[in-house]
Chains A and B, each alone.
Chain A
């Protein structure tokens, strides 16, 4: 081996050592970011909800919508175990009442995870009706109706299913939306995250503070729920 090649090998080795050191320093930066970034303290969603929304239209007026949720195997198994007392695979009237009281109506404190928006005004339904539940292939389904009569949800509005407590991860089903039109042209829909209208909430507030803030202020968290935009083409 010539002296030149030994020097070259030594130089390469030193360069490699330097590169290794730089790589290690780079790794430090990356791992600091990954390990200590706020994401590491994000909460886990425990339950997966798949929603299908049926909108009931009369002309350009939306009279109401039916929300159907399909839950994941784990949450389904737990609720079925707790509420299908006779294990016959069907919720009878008594079991349904018990499920409504013990496993559904508390969601009123969370706006039933439904966010309605017309222009700048965002609201949660205060009440719902026609609650029912069933099970199929080990999955639990909920269905309930939100009346929008006299609430001026016409032409163009938004609906989102979103749990701001992040206990549930919400997804839209296939189909996500069903339009039930009594007369006239049917509206169309699009699903997207609307960065202009986030949901602000206080993660460090009192445990029962479910307030949704309209404007951001220090200490509030920001979330961008996926909204279903309902509108008419003409």
Chain B
């Protein structure tokens, strides 16, 4: 399937999913819904502890707010530089926590041979798309509605887009598993003819979700009447997130090289193991996507 066709098919699927009627799939537990039914907390709720990353994330998030206020009150360059620096650090801690497509990027680079710079490209592409979606959605709604959207509204958009993108990712995983199985059976797993565009399509699709941390920073900046500061902060944050996401790609890249160290002289075995690893990785992405999309699926059925 060509890149153009893939995009068209995915866009069509996204449109269908976005217009599927669904209940409140994610809402703020503080806010009452219109029909007086309880508003739903954001699933999945496989929490259990407030760990180091969560604590550090909150700490840096507060520092970001502090320096944002400093820019507003004093307007000095010092506050702006500190704001950019802490936004970058906040991005690091934010991405080190749950989510942010680390599992997807990791699995993708575990599944295939890549050039040395590709994990960095995929990591920064993912973080830019993830953070950029927040900037685009919040700014667009701000311009269209002439008001700042509420936190609850942004969370609902996040949950909806997360559900849709993970369903698309699950569909893509099934297609790629089928493709890898076909190659394994028919061509002994030879992947020399496989194009790499599916890797970047998966990275982009999985990241097309407004980052909740970036969305909160954008909203805070808009409440303070400083849209430009929000955009600068989110971009600095996305660089920090890109470092962590790239690292997950590099871990897989290094691990794969280590795994294939002994097999490098046995080309036939290497191709077979490579194909099996590809199927395993897409299988992990498929399960992960279905798990993450479950709240959305549950709200539709």
Contacts and interface: CB of A to CB of B under 8 A. Distances in A.
Contacts of A77: 219-220, 223-224
Contacts of B61: 72-74
B83 interface: no
B178 to A, nearest CB: 23
Interface string A189-219: 0000000000001011001101000000000
Nearest to A207: B40
B292 A41 contact: yes
Nearest to A75: B151
A208 B32 contact: no
Given A24-B254, A35-B248, A41-B291, A106 B39 contact: yes
A169 B71 CA distance: 28
A138 interface: yes
A36 B32 contact: no
Interface in B205-220: 212-213, 216-217, 219-220
B251 A203 contact: no
Interface string A166-181: 1111110000000000
A223 B48 contact: yes
B159 to A, nearest CB: 11
Of A24, A101, A210, which is in contact with the most chain B CB atoms at under 10 Å from its CB? Answer: A24
Given A163-B29, A207-B40, A36 B47 contact: no
A129 interface: no
A207 B23 contact: yes
A203 B41 CA distance: 11
B58 to A, nearest CB: 5
Contact of B298 (A32, A44, A207): A207
A169 B58 contact: yes
Interface residues of A, number: 60
Interface string A151-187: 0000000000001111111110000000000000000
A95 interface: no
Contacts of A36: 103, 106, 284
Interface residues of B, number: 68
Contacts of A171: 50
Nearest to B224: A77
Contacts of A2: none
Contacts of B258: 21, 23-25, 27-28
A188 to B, nearest CB: 25
A119 B292 CA distance: 38
B45 A208 contact: no
A78 interface: yes
B150 A43 contact: no
A31 B49 CA distance: 21
Interface stretch (B10-18, B94-102, B267-275): B94-102
A167 B42 CA distance: 7
A9 interface: no
A31 B251 contact: yes
Of B30, B99, B107, which is in contact with the most chain A CB atoms at under 10 Å from its CB? Answer: B30
B254 A169 contact: no
B155 interface: yes
B150 A41 contact: no
B30 A27 contact: no
Interface in B87-114: 97-99, 102-103, 106-107
A31 B252 contact: yes
A27 B220 contact: no
Contacts of B30: 79, 103-104, 106-107
A151 to B, nearest CB: 25
A27 B255 contact: yes
Contacts of B175: none
B38 interface: yes
B134 to A, nearest CB: 13
B29 A107 contact: yes
A105 B31 CA distance: 8
Contact of A82 (B50, B150, B248): B150
Contacts of B298: 207
Of B25, B102, B294, which is in contact with the most chain A CB atoms at under 10 Å from its CB? Answer: B102
Given A43-B43, A166-B47, 9 more contacts: A28-B255, A40-B103, A42-B98, A73-B61, A77-B223, A80-B223, A110-B41, A170-B50, A203-B43
15 contacts: A23-B258, A32-B255, A40-B99, A43-B42, A44-B54, A74-B151, A78-B152, A78-B223, A79-B151, A81-B150, A102-B31, A103-B31, A201-B45, A207-B299, A224-B49
